Each structure stands twice: as C-alpha cells, then as structure tokens.
Structure 1
Amino acid sequence: MIYNSKMYRAMPIGVVLRKAPGVTRWADWCWRASAVLPGAGPADWRELRREGEAVEYHAATVTLELHGAETEAYLHGLGSAVPSVYVIMREGEGDAPLDVALVTASPYEAQDYTDSAEEIVEKVPMPPGLVAWVHDFVDEFHQDEEFVKRKRGKTRVDLVQDGIGDPRIGKPSDIYASPALKRRRML
C-alpha cells in the first residue's frame, strides 16, 4: 500500500539478500543486499532462487519513506550514475543472520548510519519504477534554497589586544601576562 500525504510518501519495499560461499577461509558465507522489490508484500526469509550454493531470500519488507525536507538528498542520489537505495541491516537476533532495519533513498541518511559501525549499509540499484516514483516526489516538493552570504559585523575586535587569558586569575610570574597589566604593575 502506498501512503500519500502532504510532503510525505511511503511505500513497502521488499529486500532481497543473497547468501553466497565466502571467498576466504575466515568467512563461511558472504551476505549482501542484491535487490529491492517495490510494493512487495510481507515476507520473512522466503527463498526466491537457488544457484548452486548461492541462495537469494526475500528477507523482509520495510517501508521506504520520503519526506519533503529531504528532497535535496534525494536529488543528489538520483543524480548519481546509478540511482540507488540504501539498505541498513544489523546482526540478526534469533535464527535470522541479519535484520533489515531500514531502506532509505537518502545518501546523507545512509552516510549517518555508516558512522557507528554497528549497522551494515548496502547500496542497491533502484528499479526504474522506483526511480520514477522518487523523481516525481522530488519534482513536486523540491525548492532550491538561495545562497545567502554571511556578512561580518561592523564591530572592530582587532583594535584592542588584552593579551592571553583572564586578568582576574592570578598567574605565576613566568607565564605571559597581558601587556596592559604589566604597565599597570610598573607604575
């Protein structure tokens, strides 16, 4: 079910995870997000395809949400060579090896999840229908922000130099004191 409201859209997205034999002796299996299924129904690790030892599962269906305030990020993602969504996963609890936490179309939000190293972030190409859906949302709600150069205040702070530190705090004599304080002590 696709949910529409003012400056917000949501769509269920199925996440396909591929399990393949590991390429090193330290990893028995290699897991990666290989595809997304827009408008998918509920799923819980349903096997889709098997090729030798490699297996693809419809691991989960989560909601992809688009927000009007994030259109700059979506536009950035759509402008890349391969428009993609980002699947955020965590180590699985129970029988599932991975839990799908989120799917986002925002490369900025995906980058935020990579900072913690607790989540696994996979970049998955968007199907053409999903590209069109996100592009329509951006066309409807994106507004370019005009660049405003910051202006410096007219106060001249460079005319008076009191030295380093707070003059109210007593200092040993070998530490640099404000020139104004040295003059007062000499008088």
Structure 2
Amino acid sequence: MTITDQIRQSMPLGVVLRKSPGVTRWAAWNWRAVAVMPGAGPAAWRELRRDGDTVEFHAATVPLELHRADAEAYLQGLSSAVPSIYVVMREAEGPEALQVLLATASPFEGQDYADTSEDIVEKVPMPPGLIAWVREFAEAHHEEEVFVKRRRNKARTDQVEDGKGDARIRQTSDVFRAPRKVLQ
C-alpha cells in the first residue's frame, strides 16, 4: 500500500517539557514544551537532563496523526519560517503540572485549541526527519481547488412592480399614498 492509498498515517511522538524556576513570586515554576522526538517509546515523566533547578522530562508519548483532509493545513504549516508541531497541554494536579493531550502538525487545529481558555498550546520546531515525513504525506494528498467565480443571474427584476405600494388602493397614479378612511 502506497502513501497515497492511505487516508491517515500515525507516528508516536515524544514530548519534552522543561521545568525551570519562575521569574515572579506568583509563578514558582515555568513549564514549556521544548522538543519532540519522532518514533519515541512510551514514557511517563522520565527525566532526561538536569542543570541546577532546570529539568527536562520526556513527559509523554502521543500519536501524531496525519489525515488526508488536512493536507492543505500541513502545507501551510510547512511553509512558515520555522515548521512546527503544536503541543496541546492542560493543567493537571500532582507533581506533573501539565498533562499532554495531543500533538498536531496542523496550525489550524493548533489555533482551534488555543482559542479555548482551558488548553495550553506550545509551538515546538519540527526535526528535519519529521518535516520530510509530513511534507511527503501532504504533497501526496493535497488537491488544488479550482476557484469558481459565482455569476449573477441575468434576469431583469427591476421592471416588475408587483407588491409595490398598498394593495388596498385601486388607482395606479400614486401607489405610495396611504388609504383613506372610507365613509359610509
């Protein structure tokens, strides 16, 4: 089965979160998504690197799913200055301050999640191998839509005066005149 025969493709994607000390007294810690690892195995908050108080974790592995219908969105994201993966997270209870919900290559889907105030969306640069994989899928499934200009109806509707004025007036001289009270 070739790539064009598939409706969707999926790849496990590891998400790396960095925990660093906050710069204000209101935020003790600053959490950021800093990297993604294509083809990563399962992990739950495995520590990768420590530098003083700053710690990087392999927080989660989520599937990166590419759908044929979103090919235009993937090409739009790849054409940006820095092609990125959008990591969607939500605040959680416990020692892990964030829960990774999903990762997407579609800037449109990332924007949809950013519009809600419940989710945190971080833009993470794509590694070169992931750029190639997404580009191959998007170019195989992208279909350029032909612009069709809508044409106006050529029928002349300005020459018919049906419904003009008050129907209770029988004369044609002044159709905008209000009817008079009929005396009996």
Shift of 1:5: 6.2
Shift of 1:154: 3.5
Take 2:158 and 2:124, find their aligned partners in 1: how far apart are those partners? 53
Letter of the 1:70 partner, please give it.
D
| TM-score, normalised by the number of residues in structure 2 | 0.83
Question: What does residue 177 of structure 2 align with?
Answer: 183
Matched, 1:98 2:98: yes
Bigger-Rg structure (1/2): 2
Question: What does residue 77 of structure 1 align with?
Answer: 77
**Greater shift after overlay, 92-101 or 50-59?**
92-101
Q: Does the CA-based 8 Å contact 2:46-2:57 persist in structure 1?
A: yes
Q: Does the CA-based 8 Å contact 2:9-2:67 persist in structure 1?
A: yes
Structure 1 ranges of 4+ moved more than 4 A: 155-163
Aligned pairs, how many? 170
CA RMSD of aligned residues (A): 2.5
Secondary structure of 2:80's aligned partner: coil
Show the 5 A alignment for 1:1-187. Answer: 6-155=6-155, 183-186=177-180
Take 1:185 and 1:19, find their aligned partners in 2: how far apart are those partners? 80
**Gaps spanning 5+ residues in structure 1: where?**
168-178
Shift of 1:162: 7.0
Distance 1:158 1:57, change over 3 A: farther
Percent identity reads 61
Shift of 1:161: 9.9
| TM-score, normalised by the number of residues in structure 1 | 0.82
